[in-house]
């Protein structure tokens, strides 16, 4: 079998260097702090549950 080169996925430049690993105990280890990840997701990803709310745009601007 031919060996494949391990390619890194294309990521947002703000998340450069972000890696997730699972150790032998099943714990998730991340190279970034969870607060930083959550702040990025809150800013960049629309919440499908809240998108129909009338005040959604105002909530999004607060962040």
Q: Which residue has the higher pLDDT, 24 or 58?
A: 24
Outline where 6-55 has alpha helix (H).
Answer: 34-44
Residue 36 has pLDDT above 70, yes or no: yes
pLDDT average, residue stretch 44-61? 76
In the chain, what are the helix, strand and coil shares in percent, each to the nearest 5?
A: 35, 10, 55
Q: Which residue has the higher pLDDT, 60 or 54?
A: 54
Within 10 A of 60 (CB to CB), how many other CB atoms are there?
Answer: 14
Q: Please give the pLDDT value at position 24.
A: 95
Q: Please give the pLDDT value at position 18.
A: 85
pTM score of the predicted model: 0.57
Residue with tokens 């005040």: 55
Q: Please give the pLDDT value at position 25.
A: 95
Q: Please give the pLDDT value at position 27.
A: 93
């Amino acid at each position: 079998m031919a060996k494949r080169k391990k390619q890194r996925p294309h990521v947002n430049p703000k998340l450069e260097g972000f890696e997730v690993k699972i150790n032998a105990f099943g714990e998730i280890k991340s190279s970034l702090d969870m607060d930083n990840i959550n702040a990025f997701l809150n800013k960049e990803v629309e919440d499908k549950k809240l998108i129909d709310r009338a005040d959604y745009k105002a909530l999004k601007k607060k962040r």
